[in-house]
Structure 1
Amino acid sequence: MPHRVRSALSAVLIGLACLLAPLGALSAWATYGIGDSGRYEAAMAPLAGDRNVRDAIAAGIADGIMREVHVGPPLQGPVHSFVRDAVRSFTHTPAFRTAWQAANRAAHDAVMRSLRDEGGGSEGGEGGHGRHGSAQDSDVTIDLAPVTEQVKRQLADDHMPLADRIPVEHTATTVLRSQDAAQLRKGFQVLEVAGFWLPVTAAVLASTGILAAVCRRRAVLATGLGTALGAALLAVAVAIGRRLTLADLPDGVSRTAAGAVYDALTETLRQVSWLLLGLGLTVALGALLTARIARARQGSAALAPAPAEQPTQARA
């Protein structure tokens, strides 16, 4: 094969591999990180101890309770402060961690069922969830009544007046709107299919491109730099996604708590991007060092004096 053809083929293969590497990391994260219930719960579990998340949950539950408990203006402020302090105290208990895990498990199950376009009716009970509407356009909801029930028990234990009369209704809380689910469904399904094959394809293309190159050391250098560049772009995309997500939040939602949730969900993806960046730079640096060593050896061999020829003795 002519050298020009080999060089062009190698460049195309290496370019595709460097392009697919960050996409492969994204698809693997969506499939084996977000899509897996065990890993999702493991990522969200530490947030039960996050101060911003606890404060946001305490404020939301306290406001919900005050909407159901009708208190006159003279007592409304003190009662609201008492309820909020009681709920905040509840967020430090093991019962809150159990409720937090149950709510996250229900929300994850409901969202995954919607994104994977699986049918199913509404469900109640602890962590109940449902999809209201057709399979293609429906809001994904969860029922947080069990959390309110546990808060009610905590308030009763703290001897809050009228705590036993707090109504615990099965109120559907939307976690994914239908228009958002329709936009995310196709993309998520593609990422799930590509979760295994994209990383494998990227590795095969990179290896083939290096083997087909005329100068393999230069091909390794290009592969390392391209991988590092793709990883850097992936890290930038995660940061931009965080900013856009927080900017699109509705009023009344704590941005610090939402930022903590976003960071917990994307922690693995950020770690992979930094790992790819370090790996790419290490490979590129190794290629540069081996190239310099090879040139130094060639230069020393060229400058070495030729061995003197021994004079031939004339035959007698």
Structure 2
Amino acid sequence: MSPRLRSVLSAVLIVLACLLAPLGALSTWAMYGLGDSGRYEATVAPLAADADVRDAVAAGVTDGILREVHVRQGLQGPVNHFVRDAVRSFTETEAYRTAWETANMAAHDAVMRALRDDREGAVTVDLAPVTERVKRRLAADHMPLADRIPVEHTEITVLGAADLARLRKGFHVLEVAGFWLPVASVVFAATGIVLALCRRRAVLATGIGTALGAALLGAAVAVGRGLTLSGLPDGVSRTAAGAVYDALTETLRFVSWLLLAAGLTVALGAALTGAYVRYRRTAAAPAQTPAEQSTRVGA
């Protein structure tokens, strides 16, 4: 293989490796971070104690209860105040944390089953178990008319049929890409370095490219957060949604910082090694004697 062809092929492989590194991190996070039930549960469980999330849940549950409970005009104010206080108090209990985890895992399991089973139609979740827990708590606090709160099998749509069909295609791609993209990135980088005429420069380029890819991944996560929050409908708490987004992407942000640090470390190591080698060569070069210098001048 000619030196020129080796250089071109090495450069192409290193560029591909640097592009696939952040994409591999993204696909692995989506597949094994969000797709795995255990990891998803561990991620969303602490959100039950988040103040913004609790306020958003309390507001939504309170409005739902007040729409179902009808009292006389004179009792509306006291009942509304009591319900709001009771629901906020409920969000501090173990029962609320259990209901939060149950509702989140029910939605997660429903979505994952729909993606894997190729089912048709929208994905829905029944909120009756959550309403039942709230009703029991209000009744235990002796709230007036708590026994009249209807516990109906209210299904909410967590994923529309059109969105499901589109996401299913991406999900099947992630099942393959989540494993093979990181592997391909490592293989391409190693092959590109081996083929390079100057391997130290190839290692330096690989480190810098990996760091740039990691920086782009971190920027994409930040931009995605802004777009997600700006696209929320009216009435949805942006602070609570931001807390959920941050929790779900925490691992991805950590990986982006890890790739950035690794890339910069590799690049710095290659640069320092190159500087040291040049220094040793300069120090090892024999110094010219005055006679040799005079001979060169006379020539």
- Normalised TM-score (structure 1): 0.89
Stretches of structure 2 that go unaligned for 5 or more consecutive residues are: 290-299
Match of 1:256, as an amino acid? T
Stretches of structure 1 that go unaligned for 5 or more consecutive residues are: 120-134, 307-316
Tell me by how many angstroms 1:53 deviates: 0.6
Counterpart in the other structure of 2:292? none
Counterpart in the other structure of 2:87? 87
Counterpart in the other structure of 1:149? 132
Counterpart in the other structure of 2:254? 271
Greater shift after overlay, 232-241 or 75-84? 75-84
Tell me by how many angstroms 1:180 deviates: 2.3
Matched, 1:160 2:114: no
Q: Is the 8 A contact 1:47 1:53 kept in 2?
A: yes
Matched, 1:56 2:39: no
Question: Larger relative contact order (C-alpha < 8 A, sep ≥ 6)?
Answer: 2
Tell me by how many angstroms 1:74 deviates: 3.0
Counterparts of 1:303 and 1:258 in 2: how far apart (Å)? 68
Match of 2:20, as an amino acid? L
Counterparts of 1:90 and 1:118 in 2: how far apart (Å)? 38
Counterparts of 1:305 and 1:145 in 2: how far apart (Å)? 91
Counterpart in the other structure of 1:111? 111
Counterparts of 2:111 and 2:228 in 1: how far apart (Å)? 17
Give deviations 1:153-185, integer Å, cap 9, x for gaps. Answer: 111111111111111111001112223223322
Counterpart in the other structure of 1:202? 185
Give deviations 1:170-214, integer Å, cap 9, x for gaps. Answer: 100111222322332211221121111110010000000000000
Match of 1:163, as an amino acid? A
Counterpart in the other structure of 2:20? 20
Matches within 5 A, 1:1-316: 1-119=1-119, 135=120, 138-302=121-285, 304=287
Tell me by how many angstroms 1:115 deviates: 2.6
Normalized per residue, the structure richer in helix is 2
Counterparts of 1:219 and 1:72 in 2: how far apart (Å)? 78
Q: Is the 8 A contact 1:117 1:185 kept in 2?
A: no
Q: Is the 8 A contact 1:14 1:210 kept in 2?
A: yes
Tell me by how many angstroms 1:305 deviates: 6.0
Give deviations 1:84-131, integer Å, cap 9, x for gaps. Answer: 111111111111111111111100011112233443xxxxxxxxxxxx
SS of structure 1 residue aligned to 2:48: helix
Match of 2:273, as an amino acid? T
Counterparts of 2:74 and 2:165 in 1: how far apart (Å)? 48
Match of 2:264, as an amino acid? L
Tell me by how many angstroms 1:240 deviates: 1.1
Tell me by how many angstroms 1:73 deviates: 3.5
Counterparts of 2:72 and 2:203 in 1: how far apart (Å)? 74
RMSD (Å), alpha carbons? 1.5
Counting aligned pairs with the same residue, the percent is 74
SS of structure 1 residue aligned to 2:157: strand
Give deviations 1:223-251, integer Å, cap 9, x for gaps. Answer: 00100111111111111111111111111
Give deviations 1:56-77, integer Å, cap 9, x for gaps. Answer: 1111111110011012333223
Q: Is the 8 A contact 1:43 1:265 kept in 2?
A: yes
